[in-house]
Chains A and B, each alone.
Chain A
Amino acid sequence: MGKVSLARASLRYEWRRYLAAILAVTFAGLLIVVQVALLLGLLGSVSAVIDESGAQVWIGYRGTQSVDLGRGIAVSADLDARLHPAVRRVEGLYQGYGDWRRDDGVAVTAVINGIDARPDGLAYAHLLAPAQRALLEEPGAVLIDEADRDKLNAYIGAPVEINGKRARIAGFVHGVRAVGGVTVLMGQPTLRYVLQDLPDRNQDLTYLLLALAPGSDAAQVAAQLTRTDSGRRHSLWPADEFSLQSQLYWLFESGAGIGAGVASLLGLIVGAVITSQTLASAILASLKEFAAMRALGVSRQALRNIVLEQAFWIGACGLLLTALLSSGIGLLADWAQVPMLFPPWLLLGSTAIILAIALLSGLYALRPLYQADPATLLR
């Protein structure tokens, strides 16, 4: 038989009293986990083109803040890059808005990704299977995200109109769903055709993707290229840096990050207040028993620890519920193809925050314990 834990026994026996606190903690936990996971999913879709590609260095329009905000660059931008000894491959990528017309005539804004679809191409190297790349070599073939299937009434082989040109859906991919419009992947033959009537026909290059020799340091190469002639006229980023920069840009620019931060903070405050109120009222309800323990010689510190243990278990129960509900929401989001990301740092971080808040609430609730004076039991 183990130790008698007053904290756990009370939680079990008087669970109704503690339920509100546990739910408040759960609520606070959910606010954090779900919002951050949604944000990460959203931001992840912004930087998917970087994260899913095989390039270590990106070259783009000078001062581009997020990958989806790229502007056309000159074809000659690649000159110095090709001369650098560590650069193994330089590949163009087009990203721009286009006009997609559904078969029923409704117009949808499309984000056109014109990639090098050759088998060793860098763009979307992690996303596309060789067979899918092969499909894109066909003139008129495009790939779209599975998640946009319904929005576009899409099916394989469906005829579509992009910028007034006929194309057809050759297949579906996962994980390029854009926040704004519909992401469309196409190879060079289709891209030239789709862009041919645009006013500035030379603007068919947005980024240069660089693959480096194994063992090269992307940050170092990017720094060296920045000092070259064409480097000065463009911006260069190591891929992971550009990915993070794009995510942070949207996190702060959109206000979504601040909104989530404020909501999480409010949730935490509400959780902390309810938890400490609950604990304080539980102490008051057992004040005479605590006073009797004081008479029997149990130290004040020991009684404090009981309350803190209780706070810990409230936090732990809240976390358990948070985990269950978050998994449920995650599954639901998966089913609805809403991107959510639950990286380990988010799970560990929210666990730490929730437990810390619960314990702080416990500390804050301790005050009534000082009224537990054995002399009050004498009459």
Chain B
Amino acid sequence: MSEVLVRCEAIAKSFGQGALTQRVIREATLALNAGELTLMMGPSGSGKSTFLAMLAGLMRPDQGRVEALGQDLWQLDDAAIDRFRLQHCGFVFQGFNLFAALTALENVVFPLQYGSLLGDEARRRAHAALEEVGLGERAHLRPVELSGGEKQRVAIARALVKQPELIFADEPTSALDSHNGSVVVDLLHRIARERGAMVLVVTHDPRLHQRADRLIELEDGQIKRDERIAQTEPALAGEQEHA
């Protein structure tokens, strides 16, 4: 049994007030493991992004607690939560959110400069991260010169360059075709395994569910299904490559 990196207990979140109150997440409890890619699925509007935001230190839950890497996350003050994310969290979003003025390499180096890594060492690490996502040769290009799949891989390199224990991805494949989508998820999966990171991918894309270690289905703000997926991954990945 692998180590639990993120645990939430009875977290809930509502939006709106009075009669218009919408209870998006109702008392959800969950533990996410190191070395696993967990897929959180559910129809649009089911609260997946809200769930992720509360686990990742981006949105304060109305109730319940989130324990991340042994810390009671929402007991920390805002600056400490910023620091926690800086040190331990990587993010990938649907939009790639790369700075147009910076090259792929610079986009990866840039957030590193706000951590403890500086100068040449930061550049070496950024280059290695780009190699890891298969973009070593294209490190000098700006976002306009990259395809959507490549941009998302730069965003992944940016998320993993600081070697975070926790990686959160919200609809990372929605803007990509199915080939690029599976490349991106496989990449995240590999990072989970090789680095022992916890990777949570939120998606409504049903094509992905074969590619995860664990599948969570959200419905009406509650976890409806939570199961492990049998590992047929290598064969599938091989198949995909020929497609």
Contacts and interface: CB of A to CB of B under 8 A. Distances in A.
Contact of B58 (A6, A14, A378): A378
B85 A375 contact: no
Given A295-B89, A297-B111, 13 more contacts: A2-B119, A4-B102, A10-B101, A286-B99, A288-B97, A297-B82, A297-B83, A297-B89, A377-B94, A377-B97, A378-B58, A379-B170, A379-B171
B89 A1 contact: no
B91 A6 contact: no
A297 B59 contact: no
Interface residues of B, number: 43
A302 interface: yes
Contacts of A225: none
B53 interface: yes
A144 to B, nearest CB: 60
A83 interface: no
A374 interface: yes
A265 B202 CA distance: 55
B191 interface: no
A9 to B, nearest CB: 4
B139 interface: no
A291 B170 CA distance: 14
B111 A293 contact: yes
A9 B106 contact: yes
A296 interface: yes
A321 interface: no
A13 B101 contact: yes
A289 interface: yes
A295 B91 contact: yes
Contacts of A297: 82-87, 89, 111, 114-115
A378 B44 CA distance: 12
B61 interface: no
B113 interface: yes
A299 B58 CA distance: 13
B99 A295 contact: no
B53 A378 contact: yes
B100 A14 contact: yes
Contact of A9 (B82, B101, B120): B101
Contacts of B115: 297
B94 to A, nearest CB: 6
Contact of B86 (A12, A286, A291, A296): A296
Interface string B78-118: 01001111110111011101111110001001110111001
A285 to B, nearest CB: 9
6 closest A-B pairs by CB? A297-B86, A297-B85, A13-B101, A378-B49, A292-B97, A10-B101
A289 B170 contact: no
A6 B99 contact: yes
Contacts of A292: 91, 93, 97, 155
B195 interface: no
Say what secondary structure dominates the interface of chain A.
Answer: helix
Nearest to A293: B111
A4 B93 contact: no
B58 A295 contact: yes
Contacts of B97: 288-289, 291-292, 377
A378 B53 CA distance: 8
A107 B84 CA distance: 85
B101 A375 contact: no
A363 to B, nearest CB: 21
Contacts of A289: 97-99
B53 A296 contact: no
Interface in A258-302: 286, 288-289, 291-299, 302
B123 interface: yes
Interface string B124-162: 000000000000000000100000000000010011000
Nearest to A296: B111
B52 interface: yes
Contact of B89 (A3, A14, A296, A378): A296
A1 B99 contact: no
Nearest to B155: A292
A13 B100 contact: yes
A4 B123 CA distance: 10
20 contacts: A3-B113, A9-B99, A10-B101, A13-B100, A289-B97, A292-B97, A293-B111, A295-B56, A295-B58, A295-B85, A295-B91, A297-B82, A297-B83, A297-B86, A297-B89, A297-B114, A298-B82, A298-B114, A379-B49, A379-B171
A106 B36 CA distance: 100
Contacts of A10: 99, 101
B170 A377 contact: yes
A79 to B, nearest CB: 78
A12 to B, nearest CB: 7
Contacts of A4: 102, 106, 109-110, 113
Contact of B101 (A12, A296, A379): A12
A302 B112 CA distance: 13
Given A288-B95, A375-B53, A296 B159 contact: yes
A299 B113 contact: no
A4 B114 CA distance: 11
Nearest to A378: B49
A297 B125 CA distance: 18
Interface in A1-35: 1-4, 6, 9-10, 12-14
B116 to A, nearest CB: 12
A283 to B, nearest CB: 12
The winner among A1, A294, A302, A379 for most chain B CB atoms within 10 A is A379
